[in-house]
Amino acid sequence: MTPATGFGKVAVLLGGRSAEREISLMSGNAVLKALRAKGVDAHPFDPAERDLFDLRREGFARCFIALHGRGGEDGTVQGALEVLRMPYTGSGVLGSAVAMDKWRTKMIWLANGLPTPRYRILAADDDWNAIAQELALPLIVKPANEGSTLGLTKVTSATQLPAAYHVADAPLPLIRIEAPQGNYDYQNKYFTDDTKYHCPSGLPSEKEVALQALALKAFRVVGCLGWGRVDLMLNRQGRAFLLEVNTVPGMTDHSLVPKAARAVGMSYEDLCLRILEAAHVG
């Protein structure tokens, strides 16, 4: 592994302007603390308050992207860093952009024979009763281009679909999960201790190996690089369905990637160094 002094001056990109700013600040500050604890010359850098050209002007050598959602996870900041020839962590422009778009991610998975739940792209004038009959209740409605379960609604009747659509459509600036009432929403994800996480998952070893292989293929066919998180679910028969790819997963004390790393003996600080070491351009 690269020694801490070998990374040069590192910018931890955090905050940003997306609806997930609060979580990004939590993730970024945790990463910043971890890198500094390992001796890395790391500094906070909020693109909502700073010009990205300052990265070059101030002598930064690479970036650790801890931005979530639009502008940070969709290829936008990755493209800007490519122009600056500034090495950065995680997926590149294409992989980030595709993974942020859940509809196109599903199309790529289906084209590659990978399992994912049936879905519909909703429009305001849709026949809600027909959709409920086609897909079968309960349903999850969420925006195609948001993360952190923002705008997510669990629907148990066709009459709830119009309201759920408007929530999802509103413009906004391998761990096994047991969530309260089966609803892993924004609050349960980040701010409550009621959600149960099992790592190791408790699944048979051959099943876990198969799911790891499926997740890795799902990650690669979308064009993702470096690090990330693939979400999937198992139905009652044990069949796996891919849900989405997160190219900049949360790094808070409630986040899943640090929990998985701990399960294999990797500290949070070492995890951050591993991610930073894989920073790239192009």
Predicted confidence at residue 150, as pLDDT, reads 61
Taking CA atoms, 153 is separated from 149, 162, 164, 168, 254, in Å, by 9, 11, 6, 8, 21
Residue found under tokens 């992207």? 65
Q: Where are the domains of the chain?
A: 4-90+266-277
Q: For residue 279, give both structure tokens.
A: 């920073």
CB neighbour list of residue 47: distance below 8 Å, 6 or more residues apart: 13, 15, 16, 17, 67, 71, 72, 77
Residues near 149 by Cβ (< 8 Å), separated by ≥ 6? 142, 184, 185, 186, 189
- What's the pTM value of the predicted model, to 2 decimals? 0.82
- The amino acid sitting at 257 is V
pLDDT given for residue 155 in this prediction:
86
Which are the catalytic amino acids? Answer: 20, 148, 190, 229, 231, 244, 246, 250
Is residue 62 within a helix (H) or strand (E), and if so which, with residue range?
Answer: strand 62-65
Q: What pLDDT is recorded for position 9?
A: 98
Backbone angles phi, psi at 65, to 5 degrees: -80, 115
5 CB neighbour count, 10 Å cutoff: 9
Say what the pLDDT of residue 263 is. Answer: 87
Q: What is the pLDDT of residues 260-279, one digit of tens each?
A: 889 888 899 999 999 999 99
For domain 4-90+266-277, give the CATH number: 3.40.50.20
Query: Which pLDDT tens digit goes with each residue over 87-129?
Result: 999 999 999 999 999 889 999 999 999 999 988 888 878 898 9
Q: Compute the half-sphere exposure of residue 22: CA atoms within 13 Å on the CB side of its CA.
A: 8
The per-residue DSSP string of 214-280 comes to HHHHHHHHTT--S--EEEEEE-TT--EEEEEEESS---STT-HHHHHHHHTT--HHHHHHHHHHT-B
pLDDT beyond 70 at 189: no
